[in-house]
Structure formats: structure tokens, C-alpha cells
Amino acid sequence: MTDEDMPGEDLALVHAALGRMVYTAATVEMTVELTGALLAADEPKAAKLKGKTIKGLAELAKGYGAEAGYLNPFMRNALDVILTDVEAAMEHRNAYVHGPWGELDGVLSAMNSKRFHIEPSGFRIKTVSVEHLDQLTAELVELRERVMVWWNRAWALKHPDAKVEGLEPDTAPAYPE
């Protein structure tokens, strides 16, 4: 079965799930860029974030975090862990977006040399399903929230006297010591 052979309503569901996942991934990328901008010591460093994809954004944010004197080691470690998780999830996104799609034994599949099921040839093959796309979307939403919780904590450390109307108190668990 190819996408031309797939019933229209099934294909529409796959396309909608793919769109939700791609949109969510873009919001994750945006939060990582905002994190890098918060951590950048000056405008020229912040400008280096523009136009970068997730790998470049994560590398710069980690580097800027290492230089930010107001962050403690636990915050730096949490940033590294979160951004490593973000990079892994975005590789899953890239496998769908940049990998070829085709028919494999009558099933619409996405293929790429990234993770999921690794064959001896080095290529992974994953059936394109609404369920998996929705699962990846949910994972990306959770990662976006982790980045934003971290960002809010870092912002509060950088601007300890600032008060933001409507900002809820941080009730997330503390980062491990």
C-alpha cells in the first residue's frame, strides 16, 4: 500500500498526526532557543542562536549554561539532561520528516538510518501509525514543559527581584543533587 492506495480518511488521520507532531517539535525547538537566549551573556552570543536547528541550539544553550555564573551545578546538570533528551526526541521527529516513506509488505512505513528498530543494514523501519505519531507528540509536549520549567527556574535565578504578574509559583520537584 502506498499513500495513494491508502483510504483517504486513513491518510488524512496520518497527515493530521504528522502535522501535530511537527508543530509540537517546532515549539520544543523554540523553547530551546529561548533558553539559549536567556543564558547568552550578550547580544552577539544570543544572535548566534538564530537559524540554528535543534542540535546547534542545544550545544549553544549547554555552553552558555556552563558560563552562567548564577546557575548552580544542579541546574547545569539538569539542563544537560533535558537537552540530551530533547535531542533524542528530535531525532525521532527527523526520522519521520526527513526519512523516505514507502510501502513495505503492504504497510506504509518510514525509513531512516536513525533509531527505532535497527536492522543489520543500519536502517530503521517504522510503520507510520497515528498512535506512534501521537505518542511522539506527547513525548515532545512533556519535553517542552521540562524545558519551560527549567527556563522559569533559571529566569528566577537570573532576575531574583523581578515579579511577573500571573506567574504561578514553581511547584515542580527539585532537581536531584
Is residue 91 situated within a structural domain? yes
Is residue 176 situated within a structural domain? no
pLDDT, mean of residues 51-55: 96
What is the number of other CB atoms lying within 10 angstroms of the CB of residue 37? 19
Q: How many domains does the chain have?
A: 1
User: Over the Cα atoms of the chain, what is R_g?
Assistant: 19
For 95, residues 6+ apart whose C-beta sits below 8 A from its C-beta are 110, 112, 114, 115, 116, 124, 126
Q: What is the pLDDT of residues 64-123, one digit of tens each?
A: 999 999 999 999 999 999 999 999 999 888 878 877 777 767 667 776 655 545 444 445
Of the candidates 85, 79, 29, the one whose C-alpha atom is nearest the C-alpha of residue 56 is 29
Q: Distance (Å, rounded) from C-alpha 145 to C-alpha 6?
A: 35
Residue 91's pLDDT is: 86
Is residue 173 situated within a structural domain? no
In percent, how much of the chain has pLDDT > 90? Answer: 57
pLDDT at position 129 over 90: no
Parent domain of 57:
9-99+130-158
